[in-house]
Amino acid sequence: MSLPLDIVILAAGKGTRMVSELPKVLHRLAGLPLLQHVLNTARRLNPAKIIVVYGHGGETVPQRIDDPAIAWVKQEPQLGTGHAVQQAAPHLDAGGVTLVLYGDVPLIQQATLETLLQAASDDAAALLTVDLPDPAGYGRIVRDANGDIAAIVEHKDASTAQHAIREINTGVMALPTARLKDWLARLSNDNVQREYYLTDVIGMAVADGVRVYASQPRHRWEVLGVNSPAQLAHLERLYQHEQAQRLLEQGVRLADPKRLDVRGELTCGRDVEIDINCIFEGKVTLGDNVRIGANCVLRDVSVAADTRIAPFSLIEEAQVGADCRIGPFARIRPGTQLAQAVHIGNFVEIKNSQVDDGSKINHLSYVGDSTVGKKVNVGAGTITCNYDGVHKHRTVIEDGAFIGSDTQLVAPVTVGRDATIGAGSTITKDTPAEQLTLSRAKQISINGWKRPVKKQ
């Protein structure tokens, strides 16, 4: 199909059964609003225009999606799917084809839509249909004696005989736009629901001698809609199942494909192993031989080859180099870059810091706004005091420095190359290279001192 394509996404409906203040199409699946999934798929079809019909929830939907490439059309009140497309009609290019999608059917796939669009032209319409064992509630595909599509009849308007039809309208259809404009203008709401049905255009197409083809989605889950939290949770699991299968096919070893959540894009090298209950958000890249322990959360992170991340680690907006050892219970915050063979141990928080090759921060420390050189050893309980209540200051620890346990580094401060800081020090001034610096009261012992005793 080489005709210009416009895509109309219907997203004005109420979503009463979500029992939520949030408009239905903004509820999240795999971390993204339902509508965003549909938009992402729509965009891959290279349409001339994407028009979203919104209504319920007011301006919240266009505000949250905030995409200048979308034409937003408000439908107020909502008088049916035909009425919804009528609102979009002025935006549609009469020389092309219009594809109708639903904002609450998030899993529709590009390949299915491409097949559907191949059947549509300036004198042919195409419907996406499925056969359901229980078709109750859906519009039925009525075929004539030759098996050609004659009309769509809504469940509530259907006869008993029509109720037996199992082929249903998914709602996704592709229509010749010039004809569509004419059909839309002729819709009536003379039906049980007193709505303007988009589905009535199919009968009109047949009457006008326009052929109507049907095609089926590759997977039945593609056309499932979200009407309730239960359905949303169901679709989330279907989506996650698909992600997990894709990763397994690529050779990623998942301890349990049912206990993995990918809310974004996870790219893996060879021989990656992921233990149970891990969540990957945004863009995450794992290099060859990376191992992720149980219960880790990674958001917008790249991890280079051979690195191990032990259980219960949270890493956000960070770059982790090759051959590092992270966790368990590590928290790595935005703006952190770890070079090669860095060790970050348990109960260590790193924020907006660069840690160079071979350095170790293994226990109970906070390192923020810091530049840590190569082969630095940061002892247990070390804290960078980076915040004076108003400003953040940097701490610089040069190559080879050794920071004794329970040290406070009051920034801005620099620890020189190969310097040693005695345990328990509060460092407020730059420390010279290669020397031992310590700031603590000298240890004394008091001879003859007695513990107080309780009076009888």
Sequence-ordered list of residues with C-beta below 8 angstroms from that of 262, at least 6 positions apart, any chain: 30, 240, 243, 244, 247, 280
Is 261 a binder of ligand UD1 (CB under 6 A)?
Answer: no
Q: How far is the CB of 137 from ligand UD1 (least distance, A)?
A: 7
Instruction: Identify which of residues 80 and 287 has a Cβ nearer to ligand UD1 in the complex.
Output: 80
DSSP 94-140: TTSEEEEEETT-TT--HHHHHHHHHH-BTTEEEEEEEE-SS-TTSPE
> Does 199 interact with ligand UD1 (rule: CB under 6 A)?
yes
By CB under 6 A, is residue 320 in contact with ligand UD1? no
Q: Please, how many CA atoms are within 13 Å of residue 447, restricted to the half-sphere of its CB?
A: 0
Question: Looking at 234, 241, 363, 393, which residue is catalytic?
Answer: 363
φ, ψ of residue 337 to 5 degrees: the values are: -125, 120
CB of 170 to ligand UD1, least distance (A): 6
Measured CA to CA, the distance from residue 253 to residue 242 in angstroms comes to 15
Is the peptide bond preceding residue 412 cis, with omega within 30 degrees of 0?
yes
Stretch that binds ligand UD1, among 96-104, 206-214, 231-239, 396-404 (CB under 6 A): 96-104
Under the binding rule (CB under 6 A), the answer on residue 379 touching ligand UD1 is: no
Q: Among 120, 128, 121, 110, which residue's Cα sits nearest to residue 45?
A: 110
Q: Under the criterion CB under 6 A, does residue 204 sit at the interface with ligand UD1?
A: no
Residue 73 interacts with ligand UD1 (CB under 6 A)? no
Pick one of 5, 10, 205, 380: the residue that binds ligand UD1 (CB under 6 A). Answer: 10
**Is residue 171 close enough to count as binding ligand UD1 by CB under 6 A?**
yes
Q: What sign does the CA torsion over 31, 37, 39, 43 have?
A: positive
Q: In the complex, what is the shortest distance from the CB of residue 65 to ligand UD1, in angstroms, rounded to a whole number?
A: 15
Cβ-count burial 29-68 (b if 16+ within 10 Å, e if not): bbbebbbbbbbebbeeeebebbbbbbbbbeeebbeebeee
State yes or no: residue 13 binds ligand UD1 (CB under 6 A).
yes
Count residues contacting ligand UD1 (CB under 6 A)?
27
What phi-psi label fits residue 333: left (phi over 0), alpha (psi between -120 and 50 degrees) or beta?
A: beta
Residue 83 as a binder of ligand UD1 (CB under 6 A): the answer is: yes
**Nearest approach, Cβ of 17 to ligand UD1 (angstroms)?**
11
Q: Quick check: 11 binds ligand UD1 (CB under 6 A)?
A: yes
Q: Minimum distance from CB of 198 to ligand UD1 (Å)?
A: 5
27 binds ligand UD1 (CB under 6 A): no
Q: Is the peptide bond before 328 cis (omega within 30 degrees of 0)?
A: yes
Quote the least distance from Cβ 317 to ligand UD1, whole Å.
34
x-or-dash string of contact with ligand UD1, 211-250, rule CB under 6 A? --------------x-------------------------
12 binds ligand UD1 (CB under 6 A): yes
Q: Closer to ligand UD1 at the Cβ: 104 or 398?
A: 104
Closer residue to ligand UD1 (CB): 87 or 313:
87
| Active-site residue flag, 363 | yes
Judge if the upstream peptide bond of residue 77 is cis by omega within 30 degrees of 0. Answer: yes
Residue type at 428 in one-letter notation: T
Q: What angle do CA 384, 390, 396 make, to 5 degrees?
A: 30
| Binding flag, residue 183, ligand UD1 (CB under 6 A) | no
Please report how close the Cβ of residue 160 comes to ligand UD1 at its closest, in angstroms. Answer: 18
Q: 25 Cβ partners below 8 Å, 6+ apart?
A: 11, 15, 33, 34, 35, 54, 61, 103, 104
**Phi, psi at residue 382, to the nearest 5°?**
-80, 135
Tokens of 4: 């210009």
Contacts with ligand UD1, 130-169, as mask; x by CB under 6 A: --------xx------------x-x-------------xx
Tell me which residues touch ligand UD1 (CB under 6 A).
10-13, 53, 75, 78-81, 83-84, 102-104, 138-139, 152, 154, 168-171, 197-199, 225
Give catalytic residues, as residue numbers. Answer: 363
